[in-house]
Amino acid sequence: MANAQRAVPAAKDAAQRAVPAAKDVSDAVRRSAEDAAAWARPRVDEAAAWARPRVDEARSWAAPKLERSGIAVQETIAPAIADAMVSAARAIEVKTARRRRWAKPAAITMIVAAIASAAAAIAMRRRPPTPAFPPVDPDSPVDPAFGEASSIRPESDVNGRLET
């Protein structure tokens, strides 16, 4: 601790001497930088003045060449790239199933036919049963004992003859 107490005044003394020295160094660096800037400024302006017409000349030479190249790319390479991109898009596209135009009307027709046949079946079930053989009518010209061809009794004409 005694060493630390002795070191404190020495550090304060060193700091008091270092601050003015640092200020002197910073002033010297600032002056050197200002001198370097003053020396470089006219040379930079001179270099810019020398380069400006040459840059403009290079730009005026390059502009038409760049424009012609752009047009050539647009007319030759761009269509080929566009065609390749379209072909690639069509190749990777998911194919949709073709729509069948007859499927919907056919389905509706089948549904209507099924409903109509169901209605006919219901109507036939509700109809009262009919006997397999009709009842015999005594006044009927049909003779139930014979087949259909011979069951009709021939009638005579006015003159009494039978027509066959």
Query: Which parts of the chain register pLDDT below 70?
Result: 1, 4, 131-138, 140-164
pTM over cut 0.75: no
pLDDT at 152: 54
The reported pLDDT for the residue numbered 63 is 92
Distance CA 164, CA 161 (A): 10
In contact, 117 and 125? CB cutoff 8 Å: no
The rounded distance, in Å, linking the Cα atoms of 13 and 4 is 15
Distance CA 88, CA 90 (A): 5
Distance (Å) of CA 6 to CA 2, 13, 150:
6, 12, 160
